[in-house]
């Protein structure tokens, strides 16, 4: 049969091969699964541009339902995860004036929790160290019901409206024609989508920063992302954003290091969390809140309901109100970590929602996806999902029902069961939604207050230290360097140019391209009314802040080496006292110390004492440690100098900007490394050869200076400064 010429939006029936059931969408209108043409695939149906999403939006429900059910049995996103049990306790009763949620206002209550950390894009078998967003989801088993704070380690998101979530995930997942690449955003479809969605600009800056490759789950922040409401006993509401602040500070690995860890131990984060808890080094986080009075809702130059925006901490400080401690590993990974079901709609009295269109969509999506993933409507009866109090209602039967309900009545109102179970009044703790007035037209549209996509992206970049900016440049060069379509690269450079011209210039230089000149107004849209982006020419507001110190990891906590892993590099002939004393001093400061040698078993010190070896150079690598110490012993130094893997261990640690300490004897080993040129000549006693490279002959003093260096985490100034023409 001769082919028919395709025209844009053609209504002609397509010729398909029924045996293969193939379909080519080129030149066709978008339709629902039931054949209705779709006028707007960018916005969910809302009551006014800033109003709540409406349940009648059949286009959104169909799209999201299909997306939620398209993978079994693992999660579609956040499939790669690790979890732990713990407890949460609020510090005092300060929050009582803002919320009637007792677990947030009564310091006498210790609330059990389960936390699941995860990557987003990869499958269950992918690496922990992919450049990716990290999930930080917490289930509070409160006396008033389960509250799920389902967030990420980044405070913003890629999209403003949940109707685009399936598109985002489809774009970042392995490409459908060849199922590549796994757990990576460095490919055409992701950057094609991002380059056409300027609202993603702020999130992309976070993703290209070191926040996307954390050192540990124990050393990353968590954010609720959305603006929620707190409601007090007088039914008065306050806007709130939730934060988790790690006690150990916020730290990252180097990108080269992340790639090597992925090959050597893809379970690095999972193992780190498990081993820390098993060793009694319990991860801790403080819960913080940013509170905004309802009267101040429109006081900012951004919209509180926009999930691609933060509230800078200079404008609204984070108040730390309680502490989370993770103190027990799961007994069974599948039964607990894999079967736990989070949902942003699991709230308790005193916590309510806003009209954030991404949050509104999540309120539908989470329950829907659990129905297929966990086999039916009774997933809340799985032990890890059960609330701590008995549940009484009129829901019955269904797949895998566990509860055996007594009596005749399974309806309300009833007289056969004495009217039970009863409804609870507000004064009796019954959940009552905040009485927000909504008076608007039904419309598929986005509020103009959501149109500024670049100001906060620029704020984030301006807030970074020079090393962090260099890492962002490298990340963009790597990611876009993997893109095969030059048009996508060029289009993405246009996005970056509107964030920072110098950033775009440096990225373009690495890609061998010129920076395009694209008017900001032409890119600052996300809501084509009838498919034409040029319809939107918003007037942008400028950020009141040039930078924020809270956005740079350079300003994180650097006063402790608790739980840091330190390698003692040794061989036969080492000085036993040098090993034992340094290990004792480091462990007293909270570090985890391991002896790494050319072989497993034992090595013999110069005095014939046997020293147990924890790891060999064959199974260990510098990327598993935060710092390295080379103890005294001329024979040990000579043996290590002749061992290529030992020299590489030190070279790699130096390249990744880690602290390195050695006894005076050890300088001879350092002279075999590629950073020998930074070592002092002549008398090396108590020398600081380079930031973070410490040499000494008095062990106690050397240990003190080494501990101070390890606490700094990294010495990024070793990296060569960029010299790219602006």
Catalytic hit among 43, 152, 355, 378: 152
Residue 684, pLDDT > 90, answer no
pTM for the model stands at 0.88
Residue 385 near residue 339 (C-beta atoms within 8 A):
yes
| 541-557 CB burial, b ≥16 within 10 A, e <16 | eebebebbeebbbbebe
Highest mean pLDDT pick, 23-37, 131-145, 414-428: 131-145
**Catalytic-residue membership of 152:** yes
Q: What is the CATH number of the domain that holds 209?
A: 2.40.180.10
Q: Is residue 450 part of a domain?
A: no
Residue 67 near residue 73 (C-beta atoms within 8 A):
no
Residue 498 is classified by DSSP as: T
pLDDT at 21: 54
Place of tokens 């590549």: 180
Identify the domain boundary among 346, 369, 385. 385
Q: Which domain holds residue 642?
A: 558-718
Please provide the average confidence, as pLDDT, over all residues in the chain.
Answer: 89
Place of tokens 């992309």: 204
Residue 167, pLDDT > 90, answer yes
Q: Is residue 33 part of a domain?
A: no
What's the CA gap between 476 and 481, in Å, rounded? 8
Tell me the per-residue pLDDT of 625-634, one tens digit each, with 9 for 90 and over: 999 999 999 9
Residue 382, pLDDT > 50, answer yes
Q: What is the CATH number of the domain that holds 676?
A: 3.40.50.880
**Catalytic-residue membership of 269:** no
Which of 189-198, 261-270, 679-688 shows the lowest mean pLDDT across its residues?
Answer: 679-688
Q: Is residue 530 part of a domain?
A: no
Give 127-180 as a DSSP string.
Answer: -TTSSS-EEEEEEEEETTEEEEEEEESSSS-S-SSGGGHHHHHHHHSPBTTTTB
Residue 124, pLDDT > 50, answer yes
Higher pLDDT, 610 or 395: 610
Percent of the chain beyond pLDDT 70?
91
Taking residues 109-114, what's their average pLDDT?
97
Residue 120 near residue 185 (C-beta atoms within 8 A):
no
Model confidence band, residue 471 (pLDDT cutoffs 50, 70, 90): very high
Kindly give, in sequence order, each residue whose CB lies less than 8 Å from that of residue 145, ignoring residues fewer than 6 positions away.
346, 348, 387, 389, 431
Q: Is residue 65 part of a domain?
A: yes
What's the CA gap between 427 and 420, in Å, rounded? 19
Residue 709, pLDDT > 70, answer yes
Would you say how long the chain is, in residues? 726
Structure tokens at 285: 């986080």
What is the DSSP pairing of strand 81-90 with strand 111-119? Answer: antiparallel
Residue 11, pLDDT > 90, answer no
Crossing angle (nearest 10°) for helices 357-373 and 165-172: 60
Tell me the per-residue pLDDT of 518-565, one tens digit each, with 9 for 90 and over: 655 555 554 444 444 333 333 333 446 899 999 999 999 999 999 999
Identify the domain boundary among 364, 385, 406. 385
Q: Is residue 451 part of a domain?
A: no
Kindly give, in sequence order, each residue whose CB lies less than 8 Å from that of residue 20, ignoring residues fewer than 6 positions away.
none
pLDDT at 8: 45
Catalytic hit among 78, 187, 243, 656: 78
Identify the domain boundary among 353, 385, 417. 385
Q: Is residue 32 part of a domain?
A: no
pLDDT at 425: 87
Q: Is residue 394 part of a domain?
A: no
Q: Is residue 378 part of a domain?
A: yes
Taking residues 274-285, what's their average pLDDT?
97
pLDDT at 722: 59
Higher pLDDT, 644 or 540: 644
Model confidence band, residue 686 (pLDDT cutoffs 50, 70, 90): low
Highest mean pLDDT pick, 58-67, 262-271, 694-703: 262-271
Higher pLDDT, 725 or 219: 219
Domain count for the chain, please give it.
Answer: 2
């Amino acid at each position: 049969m001769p082919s028919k010429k395709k025209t844009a939006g053609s209504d002609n029936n397509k010729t398909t091969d029924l045996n293969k059931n193939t379909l080519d969408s080129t030149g066709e209108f978008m339709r629902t699964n039931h054949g209705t043409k779709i006028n707007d695939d960018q916005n969910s149906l809302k009551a006014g541009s800033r109003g709540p999403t409406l349940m009648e939006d059949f286009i959104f429900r169909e799209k999201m339902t299909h997306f939620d059910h398209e993978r079994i049995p693992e999660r579609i996103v956040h499939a790669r995860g690790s979890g732990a049990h713990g407890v949460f306790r609020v510090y005092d009763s300060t929050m009582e004036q803002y919320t009637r949620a007792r677990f947030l206002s009564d310091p006498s209550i210790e609330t059990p929790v389960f936390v699941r950390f995860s990557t987003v894009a990869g499958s269950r078998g992918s690496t922990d160290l992919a450049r990716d967003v990290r999930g930080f989801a917490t289930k509070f088993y409160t006396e008033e019901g389960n509250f799920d704070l389902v967030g990420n380690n980044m405070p913003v998101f890629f999209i403003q409206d949940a109707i685009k979530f399936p598109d985002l995930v489809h774009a970042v997942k392995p490409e459908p024609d060849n199922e590549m690449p796994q757990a990576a955003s460095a490919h055409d479809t992701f950057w094609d989508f991002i380059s056409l969605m300027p609202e993603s600009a702020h999130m992309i800056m976070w993703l290209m920063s070191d926040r996307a490759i954390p050192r540990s789950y124990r050393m990353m922040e968590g954010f609720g992302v959305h603006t929620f409401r707190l409601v007090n006993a007088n039914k008065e509401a306050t806007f709130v954003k939730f934060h988790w602040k790690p006690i150990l500070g916020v730290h990252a690995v180097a990108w080269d290091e992340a790639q090597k860890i992925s090959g050597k131990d893809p379970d690095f984060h999972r193992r780190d969390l498990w081993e820390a808890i098993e060793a009694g080094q319990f991860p801790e986080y403080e819960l913080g809140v940013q509170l905004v009075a309802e009267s101040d809702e429109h006081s900012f130059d951004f919209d509180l309901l926009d999930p691609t925006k933060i509230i800078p901490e200079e404008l609204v400080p984070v108040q730390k109100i309680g502490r989370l401690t993770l103190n027990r590993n799961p007994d069974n990974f599948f039964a607990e970590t894999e079967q736990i079901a989070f949902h942003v709609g699991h709230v308790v009295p005193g916590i309510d929602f806003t009209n954030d269109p991404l949050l509104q969509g999540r309120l539908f999506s989470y329950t829907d996806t659990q129905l297929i993933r966990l086999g039916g409507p009774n997933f809340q009866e799985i032990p890890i999902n059960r609330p701590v109090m008995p549940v009484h209602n009129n829901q019955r039967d269904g797949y895998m029902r566990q509860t055996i309900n007594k009596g005749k009545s399974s309806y309300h109102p009833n007289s056969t069961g004495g009217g039970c179970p009863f409804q609870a009044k507000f004064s009796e703790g019954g959940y009552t939604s905040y009485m927000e007035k909504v008076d608007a037209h039904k419309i598929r549209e986005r509020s103009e207050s959501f149109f500024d996509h670049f100001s906060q992206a620029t704020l984030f970049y301006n807030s970074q230290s020079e090393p962090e900016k260099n890492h962002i440049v490298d990340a963009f060069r790597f990611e876009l360097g993997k893109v095969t379509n030059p048009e996508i690269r060029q289009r993405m450079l246009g996005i970056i140019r509107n964030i920072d011209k110098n950033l775009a210039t440096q990225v373009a230089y690495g890609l061998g391209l010129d920076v395009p000149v694209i008017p900001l107004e032409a890119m600052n849209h996300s809501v084509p009314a009838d498919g034409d982006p040029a319809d939107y020419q918003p007037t942008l507001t400028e950020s009141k802040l040039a930078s924020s110190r809270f956005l740079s990891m350079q300003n994180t906590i650097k006063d402790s080496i608790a739980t840091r892993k330190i390698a003692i590099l040794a061989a036969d002939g080492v000085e036993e006292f040098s090993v034992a004393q340094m290990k004792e001093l480091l462990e007293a400061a909270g570090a985890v110390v391991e002896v790494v040698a050319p072989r497993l078993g034992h090595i013999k010190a110069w005095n014939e004492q046997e020293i147990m070896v924890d790891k060999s150079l064959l199974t260990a690598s510098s990327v598993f440690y935060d710092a390295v110490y080379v103890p005294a012993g001329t024979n040990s130094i000579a043996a290590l100098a002749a061992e290529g893997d030992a020299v590489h261990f030190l070279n790699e640690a130096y390249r990744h900007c880690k602290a390195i300490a050695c006894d005076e004897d050890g300088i001879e080993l350092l002279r075999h490394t590629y950073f020998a040129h930074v070592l002092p000549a002549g008398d090396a006693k108590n020398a600081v050869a380079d930031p973070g490279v410490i040499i000494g002959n008095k062990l106690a003093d050397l240990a003190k200076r080494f501990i101070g260096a390890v606490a700094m985490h990294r010495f990024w100034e070793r990296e060569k400064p960029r010299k790219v023409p602006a």
